[in-house]
Structure 1
Amino acid sequence: MGERLRKLGIRLAETRSTALFQLATELPSAILARTLGIHISVAVKWQRAAAGDWAAYAADVSNRTRKAPAS
């Protein structure tokens, strides 16, 4: 199958990397590590490389002011 994809111009390594980078931007590193079966430190490196910094996101969310519920 790999040979057939290469003949069609699909580069497997680049496609895999693109998919991993996309996942790293969408998932926290702990979930990414469990889902892919990789070490957490590897997941964190992928996430930083993909600029999906969930720690900064979580800090930003926790610092937002809460709006009072509409009455």
Structure 2
Amino acid sequence: MGKRLRKLAIRLAETRSTALFRLATELPAAVLARTLGIDITVAVKWQRAAAGDRATNAADVSSRCPQRPD
């Protein structure tokens, strides 16, 4: 199957990474880990790499200084 996909110019590694990044942005790390059968620390790393870590993102946004109107 890999050979067929390569003949169609479908890059397996890139496609897999894209799918994992998409999942990491949409699912909590615990669900991602259980669903894919990976360690929770790996799921957390994927989530942070994909900017899907909602807690970190919320903390970053809340710590920004509000811009003052000119």
The aligned residue for residue 28 of structure 1 is: 28
Name the count of aligned residue pairs.
59
Gaps of 5+ in 1: 60-71
User: Which residue number corresponds to residue 51 of structure 1?
Assistant: 51
Shift of the alpha carbon at 1:5?
0.4
TM-score for the superposition, normalised by structure 2: 0.77
Counterpart secondary structure, 2:14? helix
Q: Give the 3-state SS of the residue equivalent to 2:4 in structure 1.
A: helix
Mapping of residues 1-71 of structure 1, within 5 Å: 1-56=1-56
Query: Deviations along 1:15-37, whole A, 9 cap, x unmatched?
Result: 00000000000000000000000
1:55 CA drift (Å): 2.2
Any stretches of 5+ residues in structure 2 without a counterpart? 60-70
Percent of aligned positions with the same letter in both sequences? 83
Q: Which amino acid aligns with 1:55?
A: A
> Letter of the aligned partner of 2:19 in structure 1?
A
Is this contact kept in 1: 2:29–2:44, CA < 8 A?
yes
Please report the RMSD computed on the Cα atoms of aligned residues, expressed in angstroms: 1.6
